[in-house]
Structure formats: C-alpha cells, structure tokens
Structure 1
Amino acid sequence: MTPPRDPGRLLMVMPYEQLVRKAVEAGFEVWSIWDPALRTPEYLDKVAAHSRELALVDFGDETALRALVARLAREHDVQHVLHLGSEATMAPVLAEAEALGLSPNTAESVRLLNDKHAMRGLLNAHGVSAVRARRADTLGEVEPLLTDFGLPAVVKPTNTAGSRGIALVRTAADLAEWTERVKAGGFEGPFIIEDYLEGPEFSVETLTAGGTHHVVGITAKQTTGAPGFVETGHVHPAPLDPADAAAVRDTVTALLDLTGYAFGPAHTEVILTPAGPRVVESQARLGGDRIPLLVEVATGYDIEAAIFRGLAGEDVTAPAPHRYAAIGFFQLPAGRLESVDGLDDLRARDHVHGVHFPYGPGDVLPRTTDSGTRHGYAVVDAPTPAEAADRIAAARTALRTTTTQTPKEALR
C-alpha cells in the first residue's frame, strides 16, 4: 500500500537526525524539539535541515517542555506527537500529547513498558513471564529487602538502560561494590530486586501499528556476564531453535498486549531460562547498539523508515533475513591513547558496514562499566553466525592502539 501523499504534520521530541529525514521521506512535515545541552550545534543543524522548525528547550524543565509541545502542536495544526528518543523524557511529553489527543499511545501504556517495576508487576499479575521481584524506593531500603529476598539477586534502577546501575549480588561485598557504583552514578532510585535469571539473552525488536505487533527480529546478545552485564556484541538474526523463537515472540507480544501499546517500536530484552522465556525489560523505542542497522544488513528492512510508513497508513510487515549481521564492541585497556591505526583498512573491507571509534591520540579511554563507556564498534555481515564471529574478532584485531596508564581519577 502506498502511503498518502500528504500524511500530515508531525511533532517529534528528541528525534535523531535520520528519523527526521525518514519521516520527511514518508511525506510528513516535521517540527522537532531538542535540548541543546544534549547534542552539538553541528548535530542540531542536521536535525533543523530536515525540520520545518527546530525548537530548543531544557528537557529537565518538564513544565517548559510540556508548554512547548502544546504551543507547537496548536500553532501548526499537528496531527501526531512522537517521542522516539531516550525514555527519560517520555513521560511529560506523552502526558501532554495525550491531553491534546495527538499521541498514538496512552502515557500509561508507555510507562508500563519503560518502568521495570511496573512492567514486572503487570506480567506477574497476569501470570506471563513471572519473575519474583521487590521494589526499593531508596538505596537504603535495598539491603534489608535483600536480606528477606535472598541471594543471589539482580538489583538495578527501575528507569535506566544500557547496563547502567545493574549488578548481580551474591555476597555482601557485591552489594557494597554496587552501592558505591550507584552513588557515583547519581542513581537515586527507585530500585528493583529480582531473581537472577540464567540462560542466553536476546533482544526482540517489534513494530506495532493499529495495535498489531510485528516481530521484526530477534537478536542474540553477548555480555560480560556478572556482575555488570555490559553488552559486548550482538548477532542478528539469533540462531534459535524455531520452537524457542516462537516462545520468545509470543512472550514479547503478550507483554505489549497487556500494556495496551498501540503504535511504534519497542525493544524488549529476554532471557531464555530452562523454564521458558522471561522478559528482563522493555522500552518504547528503537533498540540501541545499532540493532536497527543489524536488522537492515541482515534483511534489507529499514525499521526506522517503516515507523513513518506505518504512521502514514502503509501496511507493516515483518522481514525475512537472508544473511547474518553482527556488531562487536572494541574492548581496549583504559588509559591515555597514544596511537591508533587500522581504521581505514577496516572500513574498506567489503563485509564491514559500520565502524565507530570516537577517540584520537591524547584522549583518555575510560574503564568500561556500561554501554556508555565502551570504546566503539564494528558492524559486519556474514553467511553464518560462526563466520560473523570470526569477522568481528578480525575487526578487533585490525584496530591497533597503544595506551599508557593514567591515575584512576582520570579514568572515571
């Protein structure tokens, strides 16, 4: 089905540059809102180039943010308001959009996805992907709750992503280390305590249109494991037994049904335990770690563009993979970068679809503690998962660096 020639006017909050471009390509007129503290002027210029107007506001000022959403929507006769960026600022935007009658989702449906404790309570109440869990409103409540809950247990903030603030606690020493890390990261809670789920991990990308959930693909995750579970790589599609893949898909779509999610992408993380799939967390947004690129390399399907085609009225379908795609994150020693070589050769390889290394000589490579402190990545294609793993290993070897140690304070 061809999208209408004039699908309407769209207001997007925190839209990444390529999303604005793809919305315009689908026929929308786009107004954009960003916080200038979160992106460089050069990046915001790219957003503005595709937008009818780029408005700037402090996302930390929820009153000002809501007022700006309302003003732009009314002044420009906007038909839809979307927030596809970080979930941290979704709540006030969706509350205002819902009040204006311009959101394809209720604020409550998105809250149920984004808030880990709310999501877990919803699933447990309906006997879907049940996992024992407790909520601690403050950091001081975690230790006494853990005493009653029992170890081992996973602890994490209820509203973060990217492995930030998560840990497996087996001992008092683990709890002390996590407590210090949480304090240093400024996480004030609430926190969730859950049973430790053992098994391979997967990310499930979905695109919902008209209340129907389409599973775009399942991605196998590789992590450092306990205690921080930092993601080190992914392969798409996941090499899964068909029965297991069907169980994972059914679990994720059941979650989306329970929340009442009606439109847009969702990124859901699942562990395939001996008792079946268990949802770890979900967010009402596209997956990070370049997973949309992995999907496109493996299938030819542009999930970012499909969002706006679906909003414009085109039928949404799930893609079929014809090869594998993998991402591997560079794992370098922390310290001051003295030299770097091999990037041009790596980018020139036919099977490489993306390389990111945002450091140069003189920069300090941080110690990797979460997704935000990893050192870059390479994306490759391959005919098999084993060959994808070999190509990622070769990409890591191709990046040649030398570093010198610096004081711990400089690495934080």
Structure 2
Amino acid sequence: MNHSPTAGRLLMVMPYEQLVRKAVEAGFRVWSIWDPALRPAAYLDKVAAHSEALALVDFEDEAALRTLVARMAVENGIQHVLHLGSESSMAPVVAEAEALGLSPNRAESVRLLNDKNAMRRLLNRNGVSVVRAREAAALGEVEPLLADFGLPAVVKPANSAGSRGIALVRTAADLAEWTERVKSAGIEGPYIVEDFLEGPEFSVETLTVGGRHEIVGITAKQTSGPPGFVETGHVHPAPLPAVDAQAIRSTVTALLDLAGYTFGPAHTEVILTPAGPRIVESQARLGGDRIPLLVEVATGLDMEAAVFRALAGEDVRTPAPRRYASVGFFRLPAGRLESVEGLAELGAEKHVHALHFPYGPGDVLPRTTDSGTRHGYAVVDAPSPDEAAQRIDAAFAALRTTITPSTSSTSGTPSIPSKKEALS
C-alpha cells in the first residue's frame, strides 16, 4: 500500500470495492471488514487490494462483529469507523464505534433513520410529515391490527429494504398473499402498518457534514405500483416545480435535524401527496439502484468520493445538473433463458453509461418480486426527461431474448437465502 500523505486511518464495515478505492484516493488508509457469505472470494480480493487489511466475520453474530471492530480500531489507531453498506448490520457497528469515540454519528441518530417505526414516531411526535401508523411486533399481530386500523393500508417490515415485504392490503386475500410472502422469505418483524399515500414518488440524496445537510438531488421514481411497489426506473434530476422541490427539501432536512444526524449520506424516499410531501422511509447510507451514478452523470459529482472528501475536511458542493440521467430495470418473464442478443451493441451506445444483465443461456430468470430479483439495468443520459424515457425504451427493445416460460407459479422464483437479506 502507498502510505504517502493521508487524511487519516479509516475502518470500514461492509465497504463496496469502489468505496475503499475512493477512500484511498481521498487520502485515507483503510482497514475493511466483510462477511464472506455475502460476496464471492474474487470480489473480496478486490476489497483487500485497496485495504491495509481485510478481516472477515459473520455479520449476524453481533458480539463477534463488535469485538472485531473494537480490536481492529485499537490495534491500528483508527480515527473513524464508517458503515455505508446494508443497514441490516449497521446498528452494532455504529454502537461500538460510538462507544470507542470513533463514530461520526450517534447510534440513536442512525436508528431513528433506519428503523421505520422509530422514524414514523419521531416525525409524528414533532408534527412533520405526519402519517397515521401502527406497529406490530410479530406477524400474528398484523391481521387484528388491520381490523382496527382499516383498509386500504400499506404493510411492511420495519427493518427491511429493496421493496422486500411491502404490500398494499385492500382485501383479506391481499393480506393472505402478503403473509405467505413474508413467511416464505423469512422476513421477521417488527412490522409497520400505515395509511396508503397516493402521489408521485421521489428519492432525496443528501450529504451531511457537521450537521449541515446538503441536498445533493431529488430523483423521480417509477414503480410497479401495488401490491409490491417494486422500483422499475428512476430519472435524475426529477422534473419538479420549484415550489414542490423546495417543500420536499425542507421536509427531508427536518427529518435529518430531528434525528440529530451529523455526518454522511442519507437516502430518503418521499411521496408528494395532495397534502404535501410525506416521508416513506430513510436510510443512513447512499442510495441503491445506481442513483449515485445518475447524480454523477447529471451533475458531475461523484457522491461516493464526496463522502470521503468531506470526511477529510473538504467543502463539497453539488454542481447544477447539466443533463438528465435515467436508469431502467429489465423486466422479463420468469423462465429459462435460451438466448440473449443485443448487449454488445447497446453497451457501445455513447449515451449508455452502465449496462448490467447477469444472465446467460441456460440460466433461470426469477419472477420479479422485489429489487433483488430484477433482471439487470441500463443507465442512459439525455437532454430531457422525455428523451431519457425514449432511450430507456430503446434499451429495453435492444435486449433480445428467447425465454421458455416457467411451467408453474413457483418455477423461476429465486430460492430464499438461508442466511442474509439480499443486498440492494
């Protein structure tokens, strides 16, 4: 490793390969921790290549994870501990880092963002983005709670992401389908039941430094709609009237202030209802679905690198957007993939910035039920939102596949991981 001038010693838990690389580029010496069950060895080798050292641990063993964080921090003179990966393992890491005096945020601040029940209580108690909601500790409590709450209602796990376990319940049949789905997926409680919010959906990316919240941008979301609300595409920046954009910004920064969030990225989802913006959920991390790439294509700001530049003391600001960027997720029927064509030609288009289709002939395409079971994506730029949509449609058309459809309702459905929640 190159030990020339550094911004400090950084311990990162669950760091994606490009995050370690960008932290090193910002001047940090980086030590990394990963769970080997979550990534193949070849990927972890890339993480190790940019790290001073890579240590492995089972993220579900919270005691072992906290012990490892403490040991590596003390042994290597660590100055900052960051967890920018999946929020499922974030709480014990931030708690241990706070105990060591090495966390840029209080563990309670992170919990208030990541835990949907805690976030809703915080907002409702303070009269911000008020949404009627109830909490269910276990699956068996949801049905009687709904009888009192009334339908329609949205039900979802309080600590999940990527559209996993979310549903709009309008009827008893909807509830039965949702119950079976969360049981099959092993999604445990607690759960949250909320009023169904109607209106266009947006994601808000922020970068907080010293308690000041920079609104990096607002992204318009497209979803499959009820019952599962699987995200099917995004466009950045969102084409919004200035008054609506300002209302969304104010609502999100109010949440971050209430939570006491002081450093790092946050990804907050908002629905613009007729009564104004209502926050759906938030996470103390970078957004998924290639939203950081959309921001970079549209504005030139590398959000991932900006986190480490800010941690190193640099004043990071978001440039004005120069163009639009859009991601579209391939939506193919479940079944056996017999042939695929068009990927090389599509990837060669100048307006295509990323292309991902991780299947080949003989693979079985899963039925899309959440973000983790989508079939890949294309990222494009365009001078307008309409042209971005046209280029995404052209990308879908360029991917030519032959698929033998599944012969039953379960064929093509991915097996449920025995251990970890799928990463977004």
TM > 0.5 between the two? yes
Match status 1:103 vs 2:103: yes
1:188, CA displacement in angstroms?
1.8
Note the alpha carbon deviations across 1:364-396, whole angstroms, 9 max, x for none: 000000000000000000000000000000000
Q: Which residue of 2 aligns with 1:84?
A: 84
Q: Which residue of 2 aligns with 1:399?
A: 399
Q: Which residue of 2 aligns with 1:139?
A: 139
Q: Which residue of 2 aligns with 1:266?
A: 266
Say whether the 8 Å CA contact 1:295–1:325 is kept in structure 2: yes
Match status 1:411 vs 2:420: no
Q: Which residue of 1 aligns with 2:233?
A: 233
Note the alpha carbon deviations across 1:19-62, whole angstroms, 9 max, x for none: 00000000000000000110011100100000000001111111
Say whether the 8 Å CA contact 1:154–1:167 is kept in structure 2: yes
Q: Which residue of 2 aligns with 1:219?
A: 219
**Separation (CA, whole Å) in 2 of partners of 1:195 and 1:319:** 37
AA aligned to 1:289 is: D
1:53-68 aligned within 5 A: 53-68=53-68
**Separation (CA, whole Å) in 2 of partners of 1:407 and 1:61:** 39
TM-score, structure 2 as length reference? 0.96
Match status 1:310 vs 2:318: no
**Separation (CA, whole Å) in 1 of partners of 2:210 and 2:275:** 32
Q: Which residue of 2 aligns with 1:366?
A: 366
1:5, CA displacement in angstroms?
4.4
Where 1:155 maps in the other structure, the secondary structure is strand
Q: Which residue of 2 aligns with 1:117?
A: 117
1:138-217 aligned within 5 A: 138-217=138-217
Q: Which residue of 2 aligns with 1:387?
A: 387
Note the alpha carbon deviations across 1:107-141, whole angstroms, 9 max, x for none: 00000000000000000000000000000001110
1:317, CA displacement in angstroms?
1.3
Q: Which residue of 2 aligns with 1:34?
A: 34
AA aligned to 2:180 is: E
Where 2:261 maps in the other structure, the secondary structure is coil
Question: Is the deviation greater in 402-411 or in 62-71?
Answer: 402-411
1:319, CA displacement in angstroms?
2.5
**Separation (CA, whole Å) in 1 of partners of 2:32 and 2:176:** 43
Q: Structure 1 stretches of 5 or more lacking a match? A: none
Say whether the 8 Å CA contact 1:201–1:269 is kept in structure 2: yes
Q: Which residue of 1 aligns with 2:419?
A: none
AA aligned to 2:124 is: N
* Percent identity (aligned): 79
Number of positions where the alignment pairs a residue of Structure 1 with one of Structure 2: 409
Note the alpha carbon deviations across 1:47-94, whole angstroms, 9 max, x for none: 000000000111111111101000000000000000000000001101
Where 2:315 maps in the other structure, the secondary structure is coil
AA aligned to 1:260 is: G
TM-score, structure 1 as length reference? 0.98
Say whether the 8 Å CA contact 1:341–1:401 is kept in structure 2: yes
Where 1:30 maps in the other structure, the secondary structure is strand
**Separation (CA, whole Å) in 1 of partners of 2:335 and 2:49:** 38
Where 2:411 maps in the other structure, the secondary structure is helix
Say whether the 8 Å CA contact 2:299–2:318 is kept in structure 1: no
Match status 1:287 vs 2:304: no
Say whether the 8 Å CA contact 2:337–2:360 is kept in structure 1: yes
**Separation (CA, whole Å) in 2 of partners of 1:157 and 1:59:** 20
1:203, CA displacement in angstroms?
0.2
Q: Which residue of 1 aligns with 2:416?
A: none
Say whether the 8 Å CA contact 2:298–2:321 is kept in structure 1: yes
**Separation (CA, whole Å) in 1 of partners of 2:41 and 2:353:** 27
Q: Structure 2 stretches of 5 or more lacking a match? A: 414-424
Q: Which residue of 1 aligns with 2:421?
A: none
AA aligned to 1:231 is: E
**Separation (CA, whole Å) in 2 of partners of 1:110 and 1:404:** 45
Where 2:280 maps in the other structure, the secondary structure is strand
Where 1:362 maps in the other structure, the secondary structure is coil
**Separation (CA, whole Å) in 1 of partners of 2:52 and 2:411:** 42
Q: Which residue of 1 aligns with 2:417?
A: none
1:6, CA displacement in angstroms?
2.5
**Separation (CA, whole Å) in 2 of partners of 1:194 and 1:318:** 34
**Separation (CA, whole Å) in 2 of partners of 1:180 and 1:407:** 21
1:318, CA displacement in angstroms?
2.4
AA aligned to 2:174 is: D
Where 1:410 maps in the other structure, the secondary structure is coil
**Separation (CA, whole Å) in 2 of partners of 1:137 and 1:262:** 30
**Separation (CA, whole Å) in 2 of partners of 1:184 and 1:237:** 37
Where 1:78 maps in the other structure, the secondary structure is coil
Where 1:142 maps in the other structure, the secondary structure is helix
Q: Which residue of 1 aligns with 2:52?
A: 52
Where 1:340 maps in the other structure, the secondary structure is strand
AA aligned to 2:19 is: L
AA aligned to 2:303 is: I
**Separation (CA, whole Å) in 2 of partners of 1:16 and 1:104:** 19
**Separation (CA, whole Å) in 2 of partners of 1:281 and 1:5:** 39
Where 1:245 maps in the other structure, the secondary structure is helix
AA aligned to 2:278 is: R
Where 1:271 maps in the other structure, the secondary structure is strand
Where 1:246 maps in the other structure, the secondary structure is helix
Where 1:178 maps in the other structure, the secondary structure is helix
1:407, CA displacement in angstroms?
3.8
**Separation (CA, whole Å) in 2 of partners of 1:226 and 1:410:** 22
Say whether the 8 Å CA contact 1:209–1:316 is kept in structure 2: no
**Separation (CA, whole Å) in 2 of partners of 1:160 and 1:68:** 25
1:244, CA displacement in angstroms?
0.2
1:410, CA displacement in angstroms?
3.2
Q: Which residue of 2 aligns with 1:253?
A: 253
1:405, CA displacement in angstroms?
2.0
**Separation (CA, whole Å) in 1 of partners of 2:103 and 2:188:** 30
AA aligned to 1:163 is: S
Note the alpha carbon deviations across 1:257-277, whole angstroms, 9 max, x for none: 000000000000000000000
**Separation (CA, whole Å) in 1 of partners of 2:317 and 2:210:** 13
**Separation (CA, whole Å) in 1 of partners of 2:168 and 2:411:** 27
Match status 1:8 vs 2:23: no
Say whether the 8 Å CA contact 1:268–1:283 is kept in structure 2: yes
